[in-house]
A and B are shown apart, each in its own frame.
Chain A
């Protein structure tokens, strides 16, 4: 097995700024009680903070209302679930349990509302639980179209977004103007580019930007204003690129399926330590859902442009239907991403009981196999503490890839 040198060691000499950035990102990513959001609200009296569950939500609209978009994605391994468990049956993923725990222990009191994007039946029903348990709080279930025709699904999505825009305007105390929305879309376009730039660096030179670090930096975005997070991503990219970390010869893999319930940091570190360099992943699916810029032309309604970008360039991920005429087969997008990132294999990592990931997996796995890419799969929970079996599995997977590629 190849022993990775950089996994979970911040860079050595001369790397203080990088280390400081990563430590800051770590603190923010562990801030599941939303202290940073409270601080932001104290510094910006009268402005709103609105959460959204992990997969795509139009954060641009919250931003355009002068608000702080906040990523709501459960407690990870940092929260003891007591009350949350009392509301759920045995067989269900972990995310709703810890999310509800945080809602009930007051951690989310600083949120003026929460958007539940159409993702799966768990998140759908969680929106109703929110209505019942937190009366008076703004709750929006956001249905996204499964028809990708502009004049059909597009019109529906535009209507949904308009409703959301009106409601957020009311919550914030002033309607959202087109100019504000344009400015917010520009801020998020910059954010999308900054994320893709870091992903590109990692794909090209994974030893410079190990995934456990990138994971923390991405997570920090759950509680940071978008401008600050864009700056953090850019700074991270520069520092990591200049870190001079030594090259490592690891198996290059794509990690997929972990787009909602957060895998523990230890799991990402375990995969890396076992000899795999993650060169692409869907850990930030919600932020990367729209490929490329939205960039509304000056003569187009910015909201319509957002809806159009969702339809035309939204990722055909497991939470979505792939129409017959989508111009691609199931799993093709994953295979293309893997190729683009120069991956040699795919790791399917799904949260236990995650319907979208687990129902989709047999189809994408078949496509991956047909493309000649080896794959392996395991399940996790946000509070998994035992990584040894995963270490052995991904270690053997890395070894197999290396043997093939050396042969």
Chain B
């Protein structure tokens, strides 16, 4: 079947098998940052954005992206690099295999939540596994990066609002599984 996808800002028309996964579609179009680590939607390595929202591309048919916008790490070079520096400085980039999916979700979190608490950060990123780092360095990097972004004026607490967003996020994650 023919689909038309806006991949990292560029419209692509391709003829695909109806059962092709979005993950394989991205990799076939040279977005090799998208990694595969499992078959059970447990690792988060394959995280990309579909219309700006993080999804597990191993769990989404490419056909589903027809007419939509898909963003991978290749499309967010600048931002990714900036956060990547914070990560590397904390020693949190070890084998790096988890990084693309992890960073996609971190950047999505930044867009979705203001002033997230530690619990919210952990919860948002819970689906992104990392076997090397032990996670603590990720947290240090996120803190320092968020602090660097924060302007003094915005230091109020948005916690209740955040909780609702979190809930919405988790619910949206659940529905993704049925795509």
A and B found bound together: no
